[in-house]
Chains A and B, each alone.
Chain A
Amino acid sequence: MEKRVAFNERWLPYLLVSPQILITLVFFFWPSGQAIWQSVLLEDAFGGNSRFVFLDNFTHLLSDKDYYASARLTLVFSALVASVGLGVSLLLAVMADRIIRGATAYKAFLVWPYAVAPAVAGVLWGFLFNPSVGIVAWSLAAIGIEFNYVINGNQALALVVIAAVWNQVSYNFLFFLAGLQAIPKSLIEAAAIDGAGPGRRFWDIVFPLLSPTGFFLLVVNIIYAFFGTFGVVDSLTKGGPAKATEILVFKVYNDGFRGQDLGGSAAQSVILMIVVIALTVVQFRFIERRVHY
């Protein structure tokens, strides 16, 4: 039975939720509405006048080679961020789950990266790999690998992926660790008695039981790769070199605030908005299913 709180005054509950609603309206619905409105306008670059062009911005966008390139790049980028991020954090969680001594310290260290803002993470990694002063770039050069993310597109993408993953690994790690610790030890012992070796126990027992957590994290990581990585890209590569790291969310910013194409940029935001709504629906559906499990 659902418990309901009864209020004596009808207006009181509305008053109590009003701050939240107000914040949502001002900071979420208003800008979103603005974006949608803007996406059907053609704006003078200097803000002089604007003209209603209906869906012209969208049709223009959908016939733009650059946009598709950016979309493809975003898919590759988010696939890399999600797969590498989940893989690394699962590995770390499995290790952390095994150790007994110093487990708390180990966990605390692994959580630290999450406290670093994406933009700062970008700067950190940029420093490390800086072609002229970066210690990692230097070391790589010493063993004969030339790493210059400023001119090499693939290397730039790799670096952005590394920084983005590093920033997100803590989050994934915590969820995986909690998931692992929720698996009763006796299940593993039962499997050991049933004759399964460590590898087999992981694949037959642990992995399937961890898959709900894994799926949840997959959705979260894709959303993160789509939107949360803006700071990393902005501080590391600014979408370059030659748009090699210009993912969709960065293109919105580039086209809108640098290219001054406000209408086109707004149209891109609207498309991204649809993507994020779809992903959120998937996530909620899934979480709901889990609750009724």
Chain B
Amino acid sequence: MAGVSFKDVRKTYDNKIEVIHGVDMTIADGEFIVIVGPSGCGKSTLLRMVAGLERITGGEISIGERVVNELEPKDRDIAMVFQNYALYPHMTVYENMAYGLKIAKVPKAEIDQRVRDAAKTLELGQLLERRPRQLSGGQRQRVAMGRAIVRKPAVFLFDEPLSNLDAKLRVQMRLEIKRLQRELGVTSIYVTHDQVEAMTLADRLIVMNAGIADQIGTPMDVYDRPASVFVAGFIGSPAMNFLAGRVAEGGRAIELAGQGGARATLALARATTAAAGAAVAVGLRPEHLAPADGGPLELTVELAEPLGADSLLHGRFGESRETVTVRLPGHVRANPGETRRFTVDPGHVHLFDSQTGKRLADA
């Protein structure tokens, strides 16, 4: 068991292009960390640097007390689950799981014990003599996990392990991974682009954007107080709406730029530190908008999407025609072209610097 720490970790490829621009963080022993971000943000590269599959070109990664920069993957005390499972096709399930232990020259009886224990935990008992191609996607996924478990590593690494599964199986496996991680208490780093996986699995999230860790925090932290426009737009579905606005006199309200008239003013729960008149991006989550006669937000409906439990209204805001999505409970009917008014709880207004995209601090 061990924690993992990153100290100004950087990755530069041979062509001098830097793809990871200095990541700092400390992962506690037993913590489940999810690295989430769009494709190309460097999340897999970061994971592969922990695994030893990519060279660390700057900074330090430690597992436990050891700096692992120069260690071979096998000496890092890690196990990895790959997106395509990477099961050895010519070996049986048993052999797949036992391979690492065999190389480590673990006594046969112990190998057998460990493999059977893992198989029991993962309900693979019946499948030990099968080959990977005779298994379903979910079963292969479980074997890949079994191969990781039997080695009793200090850290589990998951590289988008569920993206090859169908939606239903993904939910099921997600729960299984969570349960297993809780049971074993092994520090885990999990890479995904799926925000639902990220939110549900993580003790803490790392939201990566273009080689930078934009925000590190608990899922609820990231949802409630996104650190940047990028994080705010990436976490949450449907994505957060952004409207251009200005800080009003006194810093306790925002005037929206896209709509004339005094009514387009949003009150803030806490005063902002930004100067009066400063241009800001106002972030409003679709689920925080509520219908209200005389509300500050006037929306021209373009499309209504009924989802069953909820309905989504897509429309345009005021005169600026900025796109806005609203999520309303139950069945909502709306005709294209009709206007509706909405209000928002002051506690759910997010302000970002319109230049840097960073969250603006409260006073």
In the complex, per-residue mask of A174-201: 1 if CB is within 8 Å of any chain B CB, else 0: 0000000000101101111111100010
A193:B84 contact, CB within 8 angstroms: no
The residue that A205 contacts in the complex, of B52, B53, B79, B88, with Cβ under 8 A, is B88
Closest CB in chain A relative to B305 CB, distance in Å: 38
Contacts A195-B74, A195-B103 given; does A190 touch B90 at CB 8 Å: no
Q: Is A146 an interface residue (CB 8 A)?
A: no
Q: Is A209 an interface residue (CB 8 A)?
A: yes
Q: Is A204 an interface residue (CB 8 A)?
A: yes
In the complex, per-residue mask of B212-233: 1 if CB is within 8 Å of any chain A CB, else 0: 0000000000000000000000
A192:B99 contact, CB within 8 angstroms: no
Q: For chain B residues 193-209, which have a beta carbon within 8 Å of chain A?
A: none
In the complex, per-residue mask of B65-82: 1 if CB is within 8 Å of any chain A CB, else 0: 000000011100011101
A204:B86 contact, CB within 8 angstroms: no
Q: Is A208 an interface residue (CB 8 A)?
A: yes
Rounded to whole angstroms, the CA-CA distance of A204 and B100 in the bound complex is 12
Contacts A186-B84, A200-B103 given; does A192 touch B90 at CB 8 Å: no
Residues of A within 8 A of B89 (CB): 209
Q: Is B262 an interface residue (CB 8 A)?
A: no
B82:A190 contact, CB within 8 angstroms: yes
Q: For chain B residues 240-273, which have a beta carbon within 8 Å of chain A?
A: none
Closest CB in chain A relative to B144 CB, distance in Å: 9
Q: Is B41 an interface residue (CB 8 A)?
A: no
Closest CB in chain B relative to A120 CB, distance in Å: 41
B100:A194 contact, CB within 8 angstroms: yes
In the complex, per-residue mask of A206-250: 1 if CB is within 8 Å of any chain B CB, else 0: 001100000000000000000000000000000000000000000
Residues of A within 8 A of B119 (CB): none
Q: Is B167 an interface residue (CB 8 A)?
A: no
Residues of A within 8 A of B53 (CB): 189, 192-193
The residue that A192 contacts in the complex, of B74, B83, B104, B133, with Cβ under 8 A, is B74
The residue that A194 contacts in the complex, of B74, B84, B133, with Cβ under 8 A, is B74
The residue that A193 contacts in the complex, of B79, B88, B90, B133, with Cβ under 8 A, is B79
Q: Is B279 an interface residue (CB 8 A)?
A: no
User: Which residue of A has the minimal Cβ distance to B104?
Assistant: A195
Main SS at interface, chain A: helix
Rounded to whole angstroms, the CA-CA distance of A205 and B91 in the bound complex is 9
Number of A-B contacts (CB under 8 A): 57
B86:A184 contact, CB within 8 angstroms: yes
Closest CB in chain B relative to A190 CB, distance in Å: 4
Closest CB in chain B relative to A192 CB, distance in Å: 5
Rounded to whole angstroms, the CA-CA distance of A205 and B90 in the bound complex is 8
User: Which residue of A has the minimal Cβ distance to B72?
Assistant: A192
Q: Is B51 an interface residue (CB 8 A)?
A: yes
Closest CB in chain A relative to B50 CB, distance in Å: 11
Q: For chain B residues 27-84, which have a beta carbon within 8 Å of chain A?
A: 51-53, 72-74, 78-80, 82-84
Residues of A within 8 A of B133 (CB): 293
Residues of B within 8 A of A192 (CB): 52-53, 72-74
A195:B88 contact, CB within 8 angstroms: no
User: Which residue of B has the minimal Cβ distance to A200?
Assistant: B103
B104:A187 contact, CB within 8 angstroms: no
A204:B99 contact, CB within 8 angstroms: yes
A209:B86 contact, CB within 8 angstroms: no
Rounded to whole angstroms, the CA-CA distance of A192 and B74 in the bound complex is 6
B86:A187 contact, CB within 8 angstroms: yes
B103:A193 contact, CB within 8 angstroms: no
Residues of A within 8 A of B74 (CB): 192-196
The residue that A209 contacts in the complex, of B83, B90, B104, with Cβ under 8 A, is B90
User: Which residue of B has the minimal Cβ distance to A188?
Assistant: B86
Contacts A193-B79, A194-B99, A195-B104 given; does A187 touch B88 at CB 8 Å: yes
B100:A195 contact, CB within 8 angstroms: yes
Closest CB in chain B relative to A127 CB, distance in Å: 43
User: Which residue of A has the minimal Cβ distance to B151?
Assistant: A194
Residues of B within 8 A of A189 (CB): 51, 53, 73, 80, 82, 86
Rounded to whole angstroms, the CA-CA distance of A205 and B95 in the bound complex is 12
B80:A190 contact, CB within 8 angstroms: yes
Closest CB in chain B relative to A182 CB, distance in Å: 11
User: Which residue of B has the minimal Cβ distance to A194?
Assistant: B100
Closest CB in chain A relative to B118 CB, distance in Å: 14
Residues of A within 8 A of B83 (CB): 186
Closest CB in chain A relative to B151 CB, distance in Å: 8
A193:B73 contact, CB within 8 angstroms: yes
Rounded to whole angstroms, the CA-CA distance of A193 and B77 in the bound complex is 9
Rounded to whole angstroms, the CA-CA distance of A189 and B74 in the bound complex is 10
Rounded to whole angstroms, the CA-CA distance of A209 and B86 in the bound complex is 13
Rounded to whole angstroms, the CA-CA distance of A200 and B84 in the bound complex is 22
Rounded to whole angstroms, the CA-CA distance of A196 and B74 in the bound complex is 8
Residues of A within 8 A of B151 (CB): 194
Closest CB in chain A relative to B315 CB, distance in Å: 45
Closest CB in chain B relative to A204 CB, distance in Å: 7
Rounded to whole angstroms, the CA-CA distance of A208 and B82 in the bound complex is 21
The residue that A191 contacts in the complex, of B51, B72, B99, with Cβ under 8 A, is B99
Residues in chain B within 8 A of chain A (CB atoms): 51-53, 72-74, 78-80, 82-84, 86-90, 99-100, 103-104, 133, 147, 151
Sort A-B residue pairs by CB-CB distance and give the 5 closest, nearest first: A194-B100, A195-B74, A186-B86, A190-B86, A195-B103
New A-B contacts (5) at CB < 8 Å, excluding given A186-B84, A193-B51, A193-B78: A186-B86, A193-B74, A194-B74, A196-B74, A293-B133
Give 16 A-B contacts (CB < 8 Å), ordered by A residue: A186-B83, A186-B86, A187-B88, A189-B53, A189-B80, A189-B86, A190-B80, A190-B87, A192-B53, A193-B53, A194-B74, A196-B103, A204-B88, A204-B99, A205-B88, A209-B90
